A and B are shown apart, each in its own frame.
Chain A
């Protein structure tokens, strides 16, 4: 129970992917998947463009939400001066460094705005008083400006923190930590606001008559769970692959597990609150959004989310032993990643398929394409850098971290 790991500094070889390691091939694998997926999308999408845009939106949102969750995670670690998470911070930094790639992947959607968003279709506002009212906000030019603004701000923050952290590997300058910590507070506020409006623009406006003040928080809660789940899978996979075995300990896995448990409960609280208040007041102008998701085969998905995104993981992650063993923790993480995808699918797809769940090959193709780019970018970065912030002043504390 007591583990002495008073290492003050890591040697760089302990914290990089050694040459010849299988993970060096990840960028190529990712790129191949991306290419394969892109071709499939092009072929299948030509026949069914509307489905393509929706599938692409879901997959893009999935990977982007992981990156945004990563950004929140790292910013909060800086702001709160948390000690335990430093050994896994670089994983988060690598994930959010893919945001510029996501910005590029956003571009295909611009070809289909009219297919995705009913308010963007020409002549939409003519017969719809509500859309006329919302037109100052829900119009294509402003939408594009906002999207550019969001990606610009996110990329700026992401690169600032990525470069700052990597720079510290070289210089060891402790003032960088202080600087990043001071900026973290304002950055969190900016991130919260931009993320809220992005979720309004990209998801909530799929149903332009609907509104919910909770929606930004709902998106945040899902993206945060998604990232922590990804973190658990990656951390365990790294250890299995012989990377950072002596660096990421059972104690760190335990803490990741606790975060996963807590934020799964938080997601359920937010999701339920939003549903519950709308259900209770029973106002038709709000309930139609949920009604669409509680009929037919969408009802099955709703029940799956209740049980699978909350019920089962909650009791699964409660036990101490599960969180301390890599295999069981990673299983929980992988499951929750899948559930996060289902959550986004459930939010987006009923606009296209109100009659019921209609899985399509394009769902898979888009996921492979976007995911391939994500994996390629992240793993390419991982190869070129240390896997932990080697000269962070608090690294030693994180290495020696121990749970109760």
Chain B
């Protein structure tokens, strides 16, 4: 008899909760995950894909016009030389970080619940990085010489300025994109083999077979594979910390009040994880319903994700408080003015949206009811992302528009092209994600199977419990065992 979802949640003494509901066996997991990939495209998918693709088209139009006319079509001016372009860049890079956290850091902490969401989260990372890289790419002005950013020997003996954080960004984000793709692909290999082996048409068999590299589940191969997975997770962890730290250094190495502050690196990383988890939540709420995966992506998973958002949101709030205190403590009049200007100046509306969305509203997640209520989770995930977008906007624009010399003060107003680029980037993101869920298994099937109790070679159907931490979940005390699923 399966427990109700309510019983499964949050009982610290009754053992670890069962992560996968309805006690499935291995085959039913394969079926559940492979089915969306193998059947004919449902209407619902088109309902998401077509608007996304339209927005992608909008991005294409906006970027083409940008290349033709120049950066002036945006609202940028002097002193506000960066606004929506870099806000969007940091926004998307930040979102990507949750995927790596789920894949890599939660793996290192042996959190088994990650297996239901890590594949989609990693895919989300890659698409978010794609969106992110668009903005520095298009904002350079002279796009035709963008290759100057790379250390390629040339006839002028000109080299990029390695001392510049803008170049560290180029390296950090490209390495991050590359490693994320590698990590994601390595994880996909066994699942691609699953689709290959189930493929009914020769084309599918060929394409998935090619991509699966001939994987045959050999334990000797699994051994090196698991070693590679662990190493990649161990590498991705400092990488993700470094990437957003490097992004924060775009601002922190400068002299501007509000930008130059030593807490930026970990503060940006915490904020990135915060917004990234919110985006994963948005996607998972939709996908689990659309693809009938509620027994694999459960309310318990959402409970954990909400707790992580509470933790990282608190870190962001802590950073706000520290910055605010230090701006006074420093005795530096420019620092103090910057913070007062943020809260009370022309962009105060943006500041208070940020504080409400990032600090005040996530407090709702102290309550378990909120952490496990789908409507609240969905709304909150969007609210948090709005708040985090505004955080980057506030940091960038308020420090730029009023810096040291009042005669140099200015104002920034976005144009229709700023808005188009932002909306278009969402188009790129959701288009890619739609394609992903259509053609690739969105749950890491092999990993989820390892989480089932019957994956443990020492599991015996019966009243005994396997107590080891590394195994699949021990059953709650006193509850009847799930039906033996080993014989599949």
Taking beta carbons and an 8 Å cutoff, which residues of A are in contact with B?
6, 81, 83-84, 129-130, 133-134, 137, 174-175, 177-178, 181, 185, 189, 192-193, 196, 200, 211-217, 265, 269-270, 273-274, 276-278, 280-281, 283, 285, 393-394, 396-398, 400-404
Contact = CB atoms under 8 A, between A and B. Distances in A.
B330 A211 contact: yes
Contacts of B262: 212-215, 273-274, 277-278
A7 to B, nearest CB: 9
A189 B332 contact: no
Nearest to A274: B262
Nearest to A210: B330
Interface string B240-253: 01000100010011
B266 A273 contact: yes
A87 B180 CA distance: 36
Contacts of A189: 314, 318
B329 A281 contact: no
A403 B260 CA distance: 42
30 contacts: A83-B16, A130-B331, A175-B13, A178-B12, A178-B13, A185-B310, A185-B366, A189-B318, A196-B318, A211-B329, A213-B319, A213-B322, A213-B326, A214-B263, A214-B266, A215-B262, A217-B263, A265-B238, A269-B241, A269-B266, A270-B266, A277-B249, A277-B260, A277-B261, A281-B253, A396-B467, A397-B469, A397-B474, A401-B470, A403-B470
B361 interface: no
B265 interface: yes
B468 A211 contact: no
Interface of B: 12-13, 16, 226, 230, 238, 241, 245, 249, 252-255, 260-266, 310, 314, 318-319, 321-323, 326, 329-332, 366, 467-470, 474
Given A130-B331, A270-B266, A400 B13 contact: no
A174 B13 contact: yes
Nearest to A129: B331
Contacts of B318: 189, 192-193, 196
Could you tell me the dominant secondary structure of chain A's interface residues? helix
Contacts of A397: 16, 467, 469, 474
A396 B468 CA distance: 9
Contacts of A178: 12-13
A177 B11 CA distance: 10
Nearest to B321: A193
A174 to B, nearest CB: 4
B326 A211 contact: yes
A35 B92 CA distance: 60
A320 B177 CA distance: 29
Contact of B252 (A192, A277, A400): A277
Contacts of B319: 213
Top 6 nearest A-B pairs (CB, nearest first) are A174-B13, A214-B262, A213-B263, A393-B13, A280-B253, A133-B331
Contacts of A265: 238
A269 B265 contact: yes
A327 B266 CA distance: 34
A277 B12 contact: no
Contacts of A196: 318, 322
Nearest to A6: B467
